[in-house]
């Protein structure tokens, strides 16, 4: 089963994908994690990707797509995968459909998350992530703080703030890019009949964990 997480940054895609992954054992494939790994290792693709990410711009398909294809072909993604952060454009979505079709697969479910912009910005400014790439746990200093400040509950590694989460101007730019280039995917997948839209917001007391629980129940039916 192939699941796609849609939604602007800060809506909880990573949290929900992580919870579904824990339950199903399907890998959570995050382009963000792939980019950060390549950037930290200073690979050729990582160096190129960093030129765009540091400015808050989308990484071009010629860099992104090969990374995702390679990850989907790995053994642990054989029975299912949760894509977090890909596709971001209609072109990428069509390319993904072609790749999956070649192996007799398809996109089974697209979870589209919506959250008020002001809440998204606040969440991203207060988001902290585990520095251990094998862990990838995510926290929020207001909504979901770690038991010990600055320390990951799961593995004990230091928590850090992503560079692209520390500037409200860069965050707003990323949100504008999402609205202009990525939001058309909502209609694309709606027409395919695989879209599931969920609002995640403190204003309605519904957070990522609540959405994940409902999705997992439906998957098991």
Q: Is 117 a catalytic residue?
A: no
pLDDT of residue 136: 78
Q: Is 174 a catalytic residue?
A: yes
Between 123-132, 173-182, 204-213, the lowest mean confidence (pLDDT) is in 173-182
> Of 71, 123, 128, 174, which residue is the catalytic one?
174
DSSP letter string, 61-116: HHHHHHHHHHHHTSGGGSS-EEEES---SHHHHHHHHHHHHHTT--EEEEEEEE--
Burial of 169 (0-12, 13-18, 19+ CB in 10 A): exposed
Q: Is the pTM of this model over 0.75?
A: yes
User: 186-198 b/e with 16+ CB inside 10 Å = b?
Assistant: bebbeeeebbbeb
Average pLDDT for 199-206: 94
> Of 36, 71, 123, 127, which residue is the catalytic one?
127
Average pLDDT for 64-68: 83
Mind listing the pLDDT tens digit for each residue in 14-62? 889 989 999 999 999 988 888 888 888 898 888 999 998 888 787 888 8
pLDDT of residue 57: 82
Domains and their CATH numbers in the chain = 2-115+167-220 (3.40.50.300)
> Of 88, 123, 128, 136, which residue is the catalytic one?
88
Mind listing the pLDDT tens digit for each residue in 109-151? 999 999 999 999 999 999 999 999 888 788 999 888 999 999 9
Q: Is 154 a catalytic residue?
A: no
Q: Which has the higher per-residue pLDDT, 56 or 78?
A: 78
């Amino acid at each position: 089963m192939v699941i796609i997480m849609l939604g602007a940054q800060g809506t909880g895609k990573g949290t929900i994908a992580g919870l579904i992954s824990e339950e199903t054992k399907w890998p959570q494939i995050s382009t963000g994690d792939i980019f950060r790994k390549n950037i930290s290792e200073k690979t050729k693709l990582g160096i190129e990707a960093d030129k765009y990410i540091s400015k808050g711009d989308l990484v071009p398909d010629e860099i992104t797509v090969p990374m995702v294809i390679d990850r989907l072909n790995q053994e642990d993604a054989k029975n299912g995968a949760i894509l977090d952060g890909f596709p971001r454009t209609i072109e990428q979505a069509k390319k993904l459909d072609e790749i999956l079709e070649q192996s007799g697969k398809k996109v089974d479910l697209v979870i589209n998350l919506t959250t008020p912009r002001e809440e998204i910005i606040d969440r991203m400014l207060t988001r902290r992530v585990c520095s251990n790439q094998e862990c990838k746990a995510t926290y929020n200093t207001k909504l979901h703080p770690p038991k010990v400040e600055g320390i990951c509950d799961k593995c004990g590694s230091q928590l850090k703030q992503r560079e692209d989460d520390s500037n409200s101007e860069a965050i707003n730019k990323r949100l504008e890019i999402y609205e202009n280039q990525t939001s058309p995917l909502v209609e694309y997948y709606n027409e395919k009949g695989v879209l599931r839209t969920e609002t995640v917001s403190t204003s309605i007391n519904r957070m990522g964990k609540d959405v994940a629980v409902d999705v997992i129940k439906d998957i098991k039916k």
